[in-house]
Amino acid sequence: MAGGVADANGQVKEVTIAHQDMVIPFRVSQAAGAVEKATGYKINWKLFGGGGDVIKAMASGDIPIGEAGSSPTTAAAAQGLDIEIVWILDDINNAEQLVVTAKSGITDLAGLKGKKVATPLASTSHYQLLFALKQAGISAKDVQILNLRPPEIAAAWERGDIDAAFIWDPVLSKIKAGGGKVILSSADVAKQGAPTFDALIVSRSWANSNRDFVTALVRKLARADAYYRANRAAFTQDSDQVKAIARIVGAAPADVPAVLESYGFPTAEQQASPVWLGGGKDSGAAKALSSTAVFLKQQGRITEVPTDFSKFVDPSYAAAAAH
């Protein structure tokens, strides 16, 4: 019907999706209204500053679908939120970095003692910062860790209020262009044993009632990633695709191609397999959530570690997208 799909009461089906400013191929489809066209649903795309904020909105029941990093997703699951991961938006790979100001004189993690380091609370960047400090034998209490959202980090950096930041793009590119020096990346932390990713998470009950919509959304995500993998060279700063991504996330088009290269985008087949979402308790995602939970409990961020994270991981949508 014109105007969208109607429910049993004749109302057009509507959903709010919480997204962040991650630079991913799907932003092209988002800008084009591809999911709306495929499903007939009216979608309200709402931009959030960090995964912690997305989880709060989902916990309130206002939003049934959101984008969040593996750390806030772990915390949400440990706190009893009835959610499940249906798609890996990206393997963070090398896309989040700890950057220090030139005037700080910091050259390594030990140099962070007594300094002001900004990162969004409960984000994957925050988790990686705490993990790296612990691996280096440095107490987090010896560092002034400030909870700032990405736009606040950019402003604080410009004012000279902070000495360092652990953050992702588009803010990462901005502060590196502003004289920032990278001393640690998410790829380094992954090698130390703390891999991270960004995920699309859904309220389980809402997804069960709107299975066709979630399947169509995941299919669009899979196609967008596949198109990017097959046409990387076409994603230049002057291309329509890159301009669309930049517009949605507030990035400079010139920065987008390199940022896309720094992430990994697993295929639908990989996602449905035990490498990511398949395989129950032994799936890559469930194991990553479990190890993240152990660390978050040590840090006092959560009180309980669920014995089995497989119930928070659903490979069926990725499997459908693979066929």
For residues 35 and 41, what is the distance between their CA atoms, to the nearest angstrom?
A: 8
Which CATH superfamily does the domain covering 14-92+196-321 fall into? Periplasmic binding protein-like II (3.40.190.10)
For 45, the enclosing helix (H) or strand (E) is strand 42-47
Higher pLDDT, 186 or 195: 186
The C-alpha angle with vertex 263 and arms to 29 and 15, in degrees rounded to 5, equals 35
d(C-alpha 51, C-alpha 71), whole Å: 8
Gap between the Cα atoms of 27 and 69, Å rounded: 17
Summarize the confidence of residues 266-273 as an average pLDDT: 97
Give 194's pLDDT tier (boundaries 50, 70, 90). confident
Query: Which whole number is the average pLDDT over 101-119?
Result: 97
Residues 3-61 have pLDDT tens digits of 567 676 667 799 999 999 999 999 999 999 999 999 999 999 999 988 999 999 999 99
State mean pLDDT over 124-140.
Answer: 94
143 SS3 class: coil
Q: In this structure, which topology does domain 97-191 adopt according to CATH?
A: D-Maltodextrin-Binding Protein; domain 2 (3.40.190)
The predicted pLDDT at position 44 comes to 97
Residue 108, pLDDT above cutoff 80: yes
Per-residue pLDDT, 258: 94
Calpha distance 2→64 (Å, rounded) = 25
pLDDT at 9: 64
**Mean pLDDT on 232-259:** 96
Instruction: Classify residue 13 by its DSSP letter.
Output: P
How large is the angle between the packed helices 124-135 and 70-78, nearest 10 degrees?
A: 90
For residues 152-156, average pLDDT: 97
Q: What integer pLDDT is reported at residue 295 of this predicted model? A: 87
User: Where are the domain boundaries for CATH 3.40.190.10 in the chain?
Assistant: 14-92+196-321, 97-191
Place of tokens 């502003």: 178
The mean pLDDT of 227-243, rounded to a whole number, is 98
Query: Among the listed ranges 58-67, 244-253, 300-309, which one has the minimum average pLDDT value?
Result: 300-309
Q: Report the b/e string of 76-99 with b at 16+ CB within 10 A.
A: bbbeebebbbbbbbbbbbbbbbbb
Residue 2 has pLDDT above 50, yes or no: no
